[in-house]
């Protein structure tokens, strides 16, 4: 599959871990439609690890746990499809999955055929318990080839955590997205750590193979499988903005059955999603700014059609001021042009004067603009 914009959807792992079952998936599918998530672009509903029995059957095929999924995976896929969604599942490049269930090592083709028969549209492929003497590029190429020969169009989501210098070879495997990080946790420190890993990887993100910064923790509030400390709504807004701005796939990880209005508003911000799904999918450019420091991140990204996205992210515990010179985005005084800014969270509009603008940001907060080039 060639994916033209970052995939969007929901994954069971962050909140539910091994506590998954058929009814949870049915209910989640219902809510994705009822709450308008599908309409905003969240089309994949993905079951993560712990869905199978601990042993394959006599034909070496994976078997869905009959207690968790009494009607089998084909019935689950059919229900998800009936809602207009696409259905995703999980496997691993090792002998075992990360939670100790059968992996797909040396079963790549039979597993790909099984997933196709069940109606799977998305495969998250992890990297636990893999062979220590076979390089990841070979293991992921095996499954990529198997999926492309299984008779069904299945999005290949490579989850090798950036190991073995994944960015150097992942596009060869047929993957549509690739994890560049270890697991996210529902803490500000985790979010901050993952985003700071991205700077050297920006050139490796783009149409057809998107850099996955891991699933979103927006709306978890410290509950669930990776809950830990939790974050506040300002931190969740900034987390979502950074993932969207940097072109990461957007995979919701909270329990959407009980999400509050603040969470829904963050996840469905049309302009932030529009930046994420921009058809050009260009990499962001880090801005130098003035007096920034390590925890004030300034980025610009040229969008299709000539607009510019500008993201100002304050990772600090105190207020900070972002100072941007338009020369950094190609608009010095000599061009006779400036930017008309629209902030995507507030709708506030402003026109930049004197080729510089300054924005105060509260602790952990951000400002993201869609900017139009206009005459001075």
Q: Is residue 22 predicted with pLDDT exceeding 80?
A: yes
Instruction: Give the confidence band of 262 by pLDDT, cuts at 50, 70, 90.
Output: very high
Q: Is residue 355 predicted with pLDDT exceeding 90?
A: yes
How many angstroms separate the Cα of 18 from the Cα of each of 49, 147, 274, 275? 7, 25, 33, 34
Alpha-carbon Rg for the chain, nearest whole angstrom, is 21
Give yes or no for a contact between 222 and 230, defined as CB atoms under 8 angstroms apart: yes
Annotated active-site positions, please? 126, 183
Q: Would you state the structure tokens that stand for residue 197, as one six-digit string?
A: 């890993």
Per-residue exposure over 324-344, b if at least 16 CB sit within 10 Å of its own CB, e if not: bbbebbebeeeeebbbebbbb
Q: Would you state the structure tokens that stand for residue 367, as one six-digit string?
A: 């400002």
pLDDT of residue 85: 98
Instruction: Give the confidence band of 4 by pLDDT, cuts at 50, 70, 90.
Output: very high
pLDDT of residue 368: 98
Task: Report the C-alpha gap between 314 and 296 in whole angstroms.
Answer: 5
pLDDT of residue 94: 98
Question: Average of pLDDT values for 8-20?
Answer: 98
Phi and psi for 372 in degrees, rounded to 5? -105, 140
pLDDT of residue 290: 81
pLDDT of residue 1: 77
Task: Report the C-alpha gap between 31 and 28 in whole angstroms.
Answer: 5
pLDDT of residue 44: 98
Q: Would you state the structure tokens that stand for residue 140, as one six-digit string?
A: 């992921």
Among residues 176, 230, 137, 237, the alpha carbon closest in space to that of 8 is found at 176
User: In sequence order, what are the residues at sequence separation of 6 or more whose Cβ sits closer than 8 angstroms to the Cβ of residue 35?
Assistant: 256, 259, 264
pLDDT of residue 294: 87
- DSSP summary character for residue 96: B
Give yes or no for a contact between 209 and 178, defined as CB atoms under 8 angstroms apart: yes
- Measured in whole angstroms, how far is the alpha carbon of residue 146 from the centre of its chain? 24
pLDDT tens digits for 175-198?
999 999 999 999 999 999 999 999
HEC-encoded secondary structure of 165-224: HHHHCHHHHCCCEEECCCCCCCCHHHHHHHHHCCHHHHHHCECCEEEECCCCCCCCCCCC
Question: Average of pLDDT values for 197-214?
Answer: 94
Which of these ranges, 153-167, 281-295, 358-372, has the smallest mean pLDDT?
281-295
pLDDT of residue 213: 98
How many angstroms separate the Cα of 76 from the Cα of each of 64, 86, 90, 267? 11, 11, 14, 25
Q: Is residue 269 predicted with pLDDT exceeding 80?
A: yes
Q: Is residue 289 predicted with pLDDT exceeding 90?
A: no
pLDDT tens digits for 58-116?
999 999 999 999 999 999 999 999 999 999 999 999 999 999 999 999 999 999 999 99
Give yes or no for a contact between 93 and 105, defined as CB atoms under 8 angstroms apart: yes
First to last CA, the chain: 45
Give yes or no for a contact between 7 and 58, defined as CB atoms under 8 angstroms apart: no
pLDDT of residue 26: 98
Task: Report the C-alpha gap between 311 and 247 in whole angstroms.
Answer: 12
pLDDT tens digits for 28-37?
999 999 999 9
Task: Report the C-alpha gap between 216 and 256 in whole angstroms.
Answer: 12
Q: Is residue 292 predicted with pLDDT exceeding 90?
A: no
pLDDT tens digits for 132-146?
999 999 999 999 999
């Amino acid at each position: 599959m060639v994916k033209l914009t970052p995939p969007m959807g929901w994954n069971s792992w962050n909140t539910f871990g091994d506590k998954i079952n058929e009814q949870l998936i049915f209910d989640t599918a219902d809510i994705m439609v009822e709450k308008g998530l599908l309409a905003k672009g969240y089309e994949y509903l993905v079951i993560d690890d712990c869905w199978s029995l601990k042993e394959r059957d006599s034909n070496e095929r994976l078997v869905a746990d009959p207690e968790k999924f009494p009607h089998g995976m084909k019935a689950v896929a059919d229900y998800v499809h009936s809602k207009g969604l696409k259905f995703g599942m999980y496997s691993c490049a090792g002998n075992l999955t990360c939670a100790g269930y059968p992996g797909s090592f040396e079963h790549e083709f039979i597993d790909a055929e099984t997933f196709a028969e069940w109606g799977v549209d998305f495969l998250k492929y992890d990297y636990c318990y893999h062979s220590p003497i076979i390089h990841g590029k070979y293991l992921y190429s095996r499954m990529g080839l198997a999926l492309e020969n299984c008779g069904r169009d299945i999005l290949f989501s490579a989850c090798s955590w950036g190991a073995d210098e994944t960015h150097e070879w992942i596009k060869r495997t047929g993957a549509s997205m690739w994890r560049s990080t270890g697991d996210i946790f529902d803490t500000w420190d985790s979010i901050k750590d993952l985003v700071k890993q991205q700077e050297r990887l920006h050139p490796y993100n783009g149409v057809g193979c998107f850099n996955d910064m891991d699933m979103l923790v927006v709306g978890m509030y410290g509950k669930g499988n990776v809950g830990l400390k939790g974050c506040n709504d300002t931190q969740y807004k900034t987390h979502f903005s950074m993932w969207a701005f940097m072109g990461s796939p957007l995979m919701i990880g909270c329990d959407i059955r009980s999400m509050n209005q603040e969470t829904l508003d963050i996840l469905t911000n049309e302009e932030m999603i529009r930046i994420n799904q921009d058809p050009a999918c260009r990499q962001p450019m880090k801005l130098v700014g003035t007096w920034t420091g390590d925890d004030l991140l300034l980025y610009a990204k040229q969008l299709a059609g000539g607009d510019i996205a500008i993201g100002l992210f304050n990772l600090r515990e105190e207020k900070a001021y972002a100072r941007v010179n338009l020369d950094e985005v190609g608009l010095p005084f000599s061009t006779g042009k400036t930017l008309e800014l629209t902030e995507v969270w507030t709708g506030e509009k402003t026109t930049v004067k004197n080729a510089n603008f300054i924005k105060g940001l509260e602790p952990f907060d951000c400002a993201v603009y869609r900017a139009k080039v206009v005459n001075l």
